[in-house]
Amino acid sequence: MNTSTDIAALKNRIPILSLIGQGVTLKQDGREWLGLCPFHQENTPSFRVNPDKGEFHCFGCGKGGDAISYTQLAHNMTFPEALHYLQERWGSAATIDTNTSSMSHANPSPLPTGPQRPATDASPAQADWTQRLRGGQEIAGTPGEDYLRTRSISSLFATASRMRYHPRWFAKPEKRWYGRPAIIYPLIDPTRGKDALVAAEGRYIDGKEKTDKTKYHKAQIAGPKGAGIFITPEALTQTFLIITEGPIDALSLAECGIPAIATCSAQNQPPFLAALCRGKTVWTAFDPDTAGSNGTQTLAATLATAGIQSHYLRPPEGMDWNDCLCVYGRRAMQSALAEHFPNIRVIM
C-alpha cells in the first residue's frame, strides 16, 4: 500500500464508528456520535465522531482526523504501523490458501471494554465477587498485555472481548497464594442480555503454578461456576458455534478469523448452552487430553438429548489451540481450518 488511492480506499472500508467504539462509549447526537475524549481528561463529552465523513474531532483538546490518525494516537503507532494494523483488519482479502479460498475482513462490533454490572440486583454473594472486579484495568500498557503477547494474542482483540488486567486478583488475607496479577475474562449469560455479566475468570500470569501446583492456582473464578461463557467478537452471530474449553483457546481461534466461545470448564456447562446451539452447526474444540475428551463426550451427549448434533474440531495431539497459534502462526492455522470454514471472515 503505497499510493494515496490505496490509502483512500482503505479509509473508505473502515467503519470509524466501530473502530473508535471499541474503546470509547459513544451516544448518538443527530448525525454524529458523542463521547468522552480518550486523549485528555474531561467530565463533559466533547469528542465527536462523524461516521458519514469517517472523521473524529475533540473540541476540548483539538485532536482530530480519520481512522488512521485515530489508530496512531490511540495505540501510539507510527503512520506505517497504523496502516499495517488497519490493512490487516480491513484491507483486501487475506489469503488462507492460494490454491483454494480466501478470507475477507468484516467490521468488528463495538463492545464494552470492561466488566459490566450483573443483570439483576446483586445478592450478598454477588456483591462479594463483583467487588473483586474493582481495580481491573484496561489491558493495554499492563503486564497483561505482555503476557498476551507471549501467547500471540493481540491486546486490541482482548479489549474488544472485554478483558481486563487485575494486579491482585481475588486477594484473600487467609489464602496467601491469591492476590496475584491476572488477566480477567468476563463470563456472560447472553440469554439475559449481551452485557449480562454473571461471573469472571482470572487467569494468573506470574507463572507460580508451574513451580508449585499445590500452593498456587492457575486460575480463579469469581462468581458461580458454569453460569456464563466467554465470548469473542461475532461468535454468536455466525451460522456455526465453536465451543472451546478455555478462553485463551477461543481467542486463539478468533485471532485466525474463527470466532468462538469458551465454557471455562470441560465439565461444568452452562444450562443455556443448548439454546445457543439451536439452528447452528456446532463444533466442540476442547483439548485433546483426557479431561477434554471426557468433556467433549459429555457435551455431545447433552446436546444430543436436545436434538442437536455436534462435531469435534480436534487440535493436534499434545497441543491446544493456543499452542497451535504460537507454534504454527495465524496464516498456517487459517490454511488448516479452511477445510471446515472456507468462507469464514477475519473480523479483527
Q: Which of 86, 20, 12 is nearest to 48 (CA)?
A: 20
Q: Identity (one letter) of the amino acid at 270?
A: P
Residue 312 pLDDT more than 70?
yes
Spatial distance between the Cα atoms of 95 and 153, rounded to a whole number of angstroms: 20
Mean pLDDT to the nearest integer, 295-302: 88
Give the distance from CA 119 to its chain's centroid.
Answer: 20
pLDDT score of 342 = 61
**Is the confidence at residue 268, as pLDDT, over 80?**
no
CA distances 266 to 179, 202, 270, Å, are 25, 17, 11
Dihedral, 135, 140, 145, 149 alpha carbons, nearest 10: 160
The set of cell numbers assigned to 108 is 468488528
Amino acid 348: pLDDT: 36
**Res 110 pLDDT > 50:** no
Residue with more model confidence, 106 or 173: 173
Pick the more confident residue, 85 or 289: 289
* Phi and psi at residue 143, to the nearest 5°: -60, -25
Q: 4-33 b/e with 16+ CB inside 10 Å = b?
A: eeebeebbebbbbbbbbbbbbebeeeeebb
Q: Please, are residues 253 and 348 in contact by the beta-carbon 8 Å criterion? A: no
pLDDT in tens, 141-170: 899 999 999 999 887 778 888 899 998 887
- Within 10 angstroms of residue 135's Cβ, the number of other Cβ atoms is 14
Per-residue confidence band for 93, with pLDDT thresholds at 50, 70 and 90: very low
* pLDDT recorded at residue 136: 80
Does 16 have pLDDT greater than 90? no
pLDDT on residue 101: 24
Note the pLDDT of residue 87. Answer: 77
When the pLDDT of each residue in the chain is averaged and rounded to a whole number, the result is 78
pLDDT bucket at 96, cuts 50 / 70 / 90 = very low
pLDDT of residue 347: 37
% pLDDT > 90, the chain: 29
Residue 259 identity (one-letter amino acid): P
pLDDT value at residue 43:
93
What single-letter amino acid sits at 186?
Answer: P
DSSP-assigned beta bridge partners for residue 13: none
Consecutive H or E run containing 348: none
pLDDT tens readout for residues 169-211: 875 555 554 678 999 999 999 988 877 888 889 899 987 767 7
1-10, 13-22, 71-80 — which is least confidently predicted? 1-10
48: its cell numbers:
465527536
Q: Tens digit of pLDDT for each residue in 208-227?
A: 767 776 667 788 888 788 88
Three cell numbers, residue 90: 480491513
**What's the pLDDT score for residue 183?**
94
The H or E element spanning position 277 is helix 273-277
- One DSSP character per residue, 217-253 reads -SEEEES-TTS-BEE-TTTTSSSEEEEESSHHHHHHH
Q: What angle do CA 248, 227, 235 make, to 5 degrees?
A: 45
Task: For each of the domains in the chain, give its residue range(s) and CATH number, in order of start.
Answer: 4-92 (3.90.580.10), 124-222 (3.90.980), 233-337 (3.40.1360.10)
* One-letter identity of residue 82: A
- Count Cβ atoms within 10 A of the Cβ of residue 186 and give its class: 0-12 exposed, 13-18 middle, 19 or more buried: buried
